[in-house]
Amino acid sequence: MVYVFLGGHDFKYDLFELTRVFFPNEEILFLEDKKEYNEEGYLIESILHKEGNKIYAKTTLYLNGVFYIDKTENINDIDIGKNSMEKSIKIGIKKSIYEALLSIIDRKVPWGILTGIRPVKIVHDFLDREINQEKILNILVKEYKLHPHKAELILNIGKKQRQYIYPLNRDKFSLYVSIPFCPTRCIYCSFPSVPINIYKNLIEDYKDKVIYEIKKVKELMEGKIINTVYIGGGTPTAIPSRDLEEIIEAIYLTFGKENIREFTVEAGRPDTITQEILTMLNRNNIDRISINPQTMNDKTLKLIGRKHNSEDIKRAYYLAKEIGFKVINMDLIVGLPSEGKNEIIKTLMEIEKLNPENLTVHTLAIKRGSKFKETIDEYSIEDQNIIEEMIQETVNFADRMYLEPYYLYRQKQILGNFENVGYSKEGMECIYNMAIMEEKETIMAVGMGSVSKIFFPQENRIERVPNFKDLKEYLGRTEELIKRKKKALIL
């Protein structure tokens, strides 16, 4: 058990997330009164106090009631390139806890005190304020405590993204369409999805509701400029080809094919990819598709709940290339059950032969709502050092394939406190991925479980508007969702 007592501040959420980095498997409890500590386990005491005209953040650690160590940060010495005392205070408090815990816990913390899922946003903030690259790196390493290679990674990604994201424009938006049907549910999945064999009779109704919602989005966004379209899931290619085509045709009819800069469809699972559906997507000028193996090891594919093997993945990829797709993304997951360095190298060698234009490398996250979360003790998962070596192999292979990182995000409960990185060949980056990840553009989302994000650039603020995660609720209450979107747009 890890107890935390705060004095002089209330940054509870931030400190919970940071403490969990060091104690991923321990229960963390915040105390209202220090006397509640029963002198068992760790006590982290975080105090913010003034001495004259200076402010200090002090962290004191106790183990089983005995003083262990303390660390103090002078808030006035923190330099993040702008005069924001509240931001400096938060950083100082987190730094003092970071330094205290790092002195007693044998754990790598490559992302320092950063606990948010979009670290590249910090780089964009620095670049917006015209802070030079040398100082950005210094701030990331000295104040945010990032490892230098992580600091360089997000700086380079931020610089690459600027040409696609800027200039910011509130009148620009992208469209996300959720198709929640899946052949089976993978053990690590926490996305809102439904088994197609049970809900097959609702596909027609769902398609009609999605098309209706798309048309209503057009009305809500009248006078705005559409940028990209992304159809995800679930597994969009799990539904009949004709139903998916009707959705695509409705998007073109509603917004104008010539106005859409990029159109992506997650073909996703190879067991849903047929010549019929690929021909249809190509006929409808889909720019990008995803064929996501996750791993090229057949034993693992079976273990995680996939109904295909590595040969099916290759078949789907070569068929897509033969039909004429110019940009194919492939997703991999590092840290899958029973996989180590040898398994990831085997997967990467097979991917290298295929030579995709995009590669997205995820580090496994133990998510609430996934079967894996409930049954994790039944599986063998590698430790942090092996996960790090596996990730480094993905970096090495990406470099060999002339793939450069262009977007990055992190997740709660991600193994080893690492990250997910999207790689691309030059000029083949996915614009939608950058827009959704950096939250610099409005995303209008339709379909079950999707989330619209309304961007207000002058306030640098996002207003989230979620759709229902239950299929029947979505089908019966679509009008209510449209009203929610309308309300958020005029706030």
CATH of domain 1-103: 3.30.160
Q: What is the pLDDT of residue 129?
A: 92
CA distances in angstroms from 331 to 18, 300, 309, 377, listed in the order given: 28, 15, 15, 25
Indicate the residue type of 451: V
Q: Which residue did the predictor score with more confidence, 414 or 462?
A: 462
Question: By mean pLDDT, which of 150-154, 183-187, 316-320, 365-369 is the weakest?
Answer: 365-369
CA pair distance 126, 81, nearest whole angstrom: 8
pLDDT of residue 460: 83
The shares of helix, strand and coil residues in the chain, as percent rounded to the nearest 5, are 45, 25, 30
Q: What does each C-alpha distance from 182 to 247, 248, 398 come to in angstroms?
A: 17, 19, 29
What local confidence, expressed as pLDDT, does residue 188 receive? 59
Predicted structure pTM score: 0.92
- Between 192 and 64, name the one with better pLDDT: 64
Looking at 181-185, 186-190, 250-254, which range is the least confident one? 186-190
167-484: CATH architecture:
Alpha-Beta Horseshoe (3.80)
pLDDT at 369 over 90: no
Rounded to 10 deg, the angle between the 431-438 and 120-128 helix axes is: 80
Q: Which long-range contacts (CB under 8 A, 24 or more apart) does 28-34 make?
A: 28/2, 28/3, 28/4, 29/1, 29/2, 29/3, 29/4, 30/3, 30/4, 30/5, 30/6, 31/3, 31/4, 31/5, 33/5, 34/5
pLDDT at 416: 74
Q: CA-to-CA distance for 453 and 31, rounded, in angstroms?
A: 35
pLDDT of 83 > 70? The answer is: no
The 10s digit of each residue's pLDDT in 17-66 is 999 999 988 999 999 999 999 999 999 999 999 999 999 999 999 999 99
pLDDT of residue 412: 78
Phi, psi of 202 (to 5 degrees): -100, 0
Distances 348 to 74, 296, 354, 359, 364 between C-alpha atoms, Å: 46, 8, 10, 10, 16
Task: Spell 265-288 as b/e; 16+ CB within 10 A means b.
Answer: bbbbbbbbbeeebbebbeebebbb
The pLDDT of 245-252, averaged and rounded, is: 98
pLDDT at 307 over 90: no
pLDDT of residue 55: 95
447: left (phi > 0), else alpha (psi -120 to 50), else beta? left
Q: Write down the pLDDT at residue 306.
A: 79
Beta bridge partners of 231: 177, 265
222: pLDDT strictly greater than 60: yes
Label residue 267 by pLDDT band (50, 70, 90): confident
Mean pLDDT (the chain) is 92
